[in-house]
Structure formats: C-alpha cells, structure tokens
C-alpha cells in the first residue's frame, strides 16, 4: 500500500516508533550487532538450561501465566551484557521492570523468552526478543527463535531479514484468503472476551493460527507466512522487536484505534489486507474497550 492510500485511513501514518527521521549519532550496525550477539547468547542459555528450568516454574498474573528460572536467568544475562557494552542505557524488560526513556539516550526493550508456555511444553515457537529505541523511534529489532535458531532482524530504514536474507510481507487483498494469527490472555474473563471476538473473525478469514509468541507471529507476517496478526494484551517487550521487523518488511503495524500498538489491541497486517481486519475488529470492539488494559 502506498503512503497515499494509508493516509486515507483514520490511522493516518505508520506506527510512530517505525517512522520519522532516525535520530542522529547512532551507529545502527553496531546496535544491531550487539543485539544479535546478546540474543544468540541468551538463546543458547535458554536451550542449555531448559531441563533444569522446568523444575523451577512459578506464576505471575494467573495460574496459567508461567515464568521459569530460564526467563529470569536470560534477562539477567541480557542486562549484564548491555550494562557492559552500553553503560547507562535504560532497559525495559518483562521480568526485571521498566526504566523510563531518557531523551537522547538509547533504551533497550527485551523479552528473554517470548512464548514461555511453548518453552515449557516444547512447542517450537519461543524466542529472545531485543529492540532498541531512541527518542520514540525504534532503531533495531532482533527475534531469535530459541527452538530452531531462526533469526529475524531489522534496522530502521534498512529492511527486514530472516537468517540474513531479506524478507517482505505478502500481498493479499482479500480477507477471506488471509491467514491470521492471534493470541490469548491469561485472565479467564479476557479469554472469554477474546473467544467472542475470535468467533466473529473465523468466518471471515481463510484460517486462524495461534503460535503462542507475539514476536514470532510478527516475524512470520514479515516473511509472508502469515497475512495478519491481532491480539489484546501484548506489552511493549512482546511487540517492539517483531513490530519493527514486520514494519520494515512492509506491513502496517498499529493499535486498533491508535497509531501505535497498545495493550488494548495490537494489529498488524500486509498493507493490502490491513483495512479489512481493522474494520472487522472495530465493528466488534468499541473505542473505549480497545484501550482497556
């Protein structure tokens, strides 16, 4: 979709964290190289410690929202490596809390294992996700599938790649032919609501997939395996790296009623099909509901 076509939609411009000028003074190849290296080390740690980590499982928001010793160890490792290489950079992490962005400073956004339930059960979709942003602009993103070693990456304005080869999102224009991914929350009431929304979506699409990792879903969209993705509940660390990769591959990434993805709803799709799932979801989800946490 051309920028002129996108401008005709209420979402009038791409996600702000993937658009606009790249802040000066940052060496994107160096940031990307660091993210790739740390993600590979964290993935190796998660693979090597999986058997032991499965004996140390706790829960977070609900009995089904699990965290393993490997999640915590992986985040510690990533934070330690970043502190050595980039002392003073703020960090946002799923397991270790959030530091506010500082103007003019790179902030790192990380998830040591996106798809922890898959990690626990051995379903091969769980990944290290690392992104870096500065002044509201995503600079680099890396998603490293721990299970099979596939690596997706992107840098602002430089395209998206899978194992070093460029990728581009697909070009469907008919929602009925689109393969759409989604995810589900851990709260029972949220899941009930998500089931109702899913029941409205299924008849309108080719099929639905539920991989269990927002980061990987967005990367599969980037390479054209999926045509779209929507989910209520992802946090910044879930969608930042994959969202940049999808956007650099040509996908439209947004919230449902807002330019930026949000915990209320993250929506991403190939540009030719994007308006249809957005309209369908809006017909079922009022604006006030889309922004609830």
Q: For the beta carbon of residue 188, count every other beta carbon within 10 angstroms.
A: 11
Q: What is the C-alpha to C-alpha distance for residues 4 and 109, in angstroms, rounded to an integer?
A: 31
Q: Is residue 70 part of a domain?
A: yes
Number of H helices, E strands in the chain: 10, 15
Q: What is the C-alpha to C-alpha distance for residues 282 and 265, in angstroms, rounded to an integer?
A: 11
Position 4 scores a pLDDT of 35
> 136 pLDDT band (50/70/90 cuts)?
confident
Residues 183 and 231 in one domain: yes
238 is annotated as contributing to ligand binding: yes
| DSSP 8-state code for residue 21 | P
For the chain, the domain total comes to 2
Residues 120 and 162 in one domain: yes
- Please give the residue range of the domain that contains residue 235: 169-286
Out of 127, 150, 167, a domain closes at 167
Residues 193 and 270 in one domain: yes
| Residue 19 pLDDT exceeds 80 | no
111 is annotated as contributing to ligand binding: yes
Q: What pTM was computed for the model?
A: 0.90
Residues 56 and 95 in one domain: yes
- State percent of the chain over pLDDT 70: 88
Using one digit for the tens of pLDDT, what is the confidence trace for 61-119?
554 445 678 888 999 999 999 999 999 999 999 877 778 888 899 999 999 999 999 99
113 is annotated as contributing to ligand binding: yes
Using one digit for the tens of pLDDT, what is the confidence trace for 185-241?
888 898 999 999 999 999 999 999 999 999 999 999 999 999 999 999 899 999 999
84 touches 101 (CB < 8 A): no
Q: What is the C-alpha to C-alpha distance for residues 67 and 100, in angstroms, rounded to an integer?
A: 24
Q: Between the CA of residue 216 and those of 26, 95, 115, 142, 204, what are the distances in Å?
A: 27, 19, 9, 11, 23
Please name the helix (run of DSSP H) or strand (run of DSSP E) that holds residue 43, with its range, or none.
helix 28-48
Q: Is residue 173 part of a domain?
A: yes
- Which position has the higher pLDDT, 291 or 278? 278
Sign of CA dihedral 221, 225, 227, 229: negative
Residues 35 and 72 in one domain: yes
Out of 141, 167, 193, a domain closes at 167
Q: Is residue 9 part of a domain?
A: no
| Residue 46 pLDDT exceeds 60 | yes
Task: Say which CATH number the domain at 42 has.
Answer: 3.30.540.10
Residues 143 and 178 in one domain: no
227 is annotated as contributing to ligand binding: no
Residues 79 and 38 in one domain: yes
178 touches 172 (CB < 8 A): yes
Out of 127, 152, 167, a domain closes at 167
Q: What is the C-alpha to C-alpha distance for residues 292 and 274, in angstroms, rounded to an integer?
A: 22
126 touches 147 (CB < 8 A): yes
Residues 46 and 159 in one domain: yes
Q: Is residue 75 part of a domain?
A: yes
Residues 237 and 226 in one domain: yes
Give me 128's structure tokens: 């290290």
2 is annotated as contributing to ligand binding: no
Position 293 scores a pLDDT of 39
Among 53, 211, 58, CA closest to 143:
211
Q: Is residue 291 part of a domain?
A: no
Q: What is the C-alpha to C-alpha distance for residues 198 and 177, in angstroms, rounded to an integer?
A: 16
Task: Say which CATH number the domain at 189 has.
Answer: 3.40.190.80
Q: Is residue 15 part of a domain?
A: no
243 touches 237 (CB < 8 A): no
- Which position has the higher pLDDT, 283 or 288? 283
Using one digit for the tens of pLDDT, what is the confidence trace for 236-258?
999 999 999 999 999 999 999 98
Residues 32 and 162 in one domain: yes
Residues 173 and 162 in one domain: no
User: Phi and psi at residue 118, in whole multiples of 5°?
Assistant: -60, -40
- H helices within 122-213, ranges in order? 188-201
Q: Is residue 210 part of a domain?
A: yes
**Spacing of C-alpha 21 from chain mean position:** 22
Q: What is the C-alpha to C-alpha distance for residues 290 and 194, in angstroms, rounded to an integer?
A: 12
Residues 197 and 227 in one domain: yes
User: Phi and psi at residue 253, in whole multiples of 5°?
Assistant: -125, 130
Q: Is residue 231 part of a domain?
A: yes
């Amino acid at each position: 979709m051309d920028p002129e076509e996108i401008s005709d939609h209420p979402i009038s411009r791409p996600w702000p964290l993937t658009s606009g000028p790249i802040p000066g003074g940052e060496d994107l190849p160096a940031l990307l190289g660091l993210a790739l290296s740390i993600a590979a080390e964290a993935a190796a740690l998660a693979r090597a410690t999986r058997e032991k980590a499965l004996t140390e499982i706790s829960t977070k928001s609900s009995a089904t929202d699990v965290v393993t010793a490997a999640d915590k160890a992986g985040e510690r490792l990533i934070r330690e490596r970043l502190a050595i290489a980039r002392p003073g950079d703020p960090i946002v992490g799923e397991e270790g809390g959030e530091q506010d962005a500082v103007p003019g400073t790179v902030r790192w956004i990380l998830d040591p294992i996106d798809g922890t339930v898959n990690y626990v059960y051995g379903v091969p979709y769980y990944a290290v996700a690392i992104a870096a942003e500065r002044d509201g602009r995503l600079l680099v993103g890396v998603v490293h599938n721990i299970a099979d070693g596939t690596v997706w990456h992107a840098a602002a304005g430089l395209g998206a790649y899978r194992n070093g080869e460029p990728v581009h999102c697909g070009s469907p224009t008919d929602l009925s032919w689109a393969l759409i991914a989604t995810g589900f929350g851990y709260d029972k009431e949220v899941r009930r609501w998500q089931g109702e929304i899913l029941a409205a979506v299924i008849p309108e699409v080719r099929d639905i997939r539920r991989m269990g990792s927002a980061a990987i879903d967005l990367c599969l969209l980037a390479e054209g395996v999926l045509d779209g993705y929507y989910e209520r509940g992802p946090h910044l660390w879930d969608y930042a790296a994959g969202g940049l990769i999808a956007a650099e591959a040509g996908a439209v990434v947004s919230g449902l009623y807002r330019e930026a993805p949000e915990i209320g709803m993250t929506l991403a799709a190939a540009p030719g099909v994007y308006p249809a799932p957005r309209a369908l979801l809006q017909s079922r989800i009022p604006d006030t509901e889309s922004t609830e946490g």
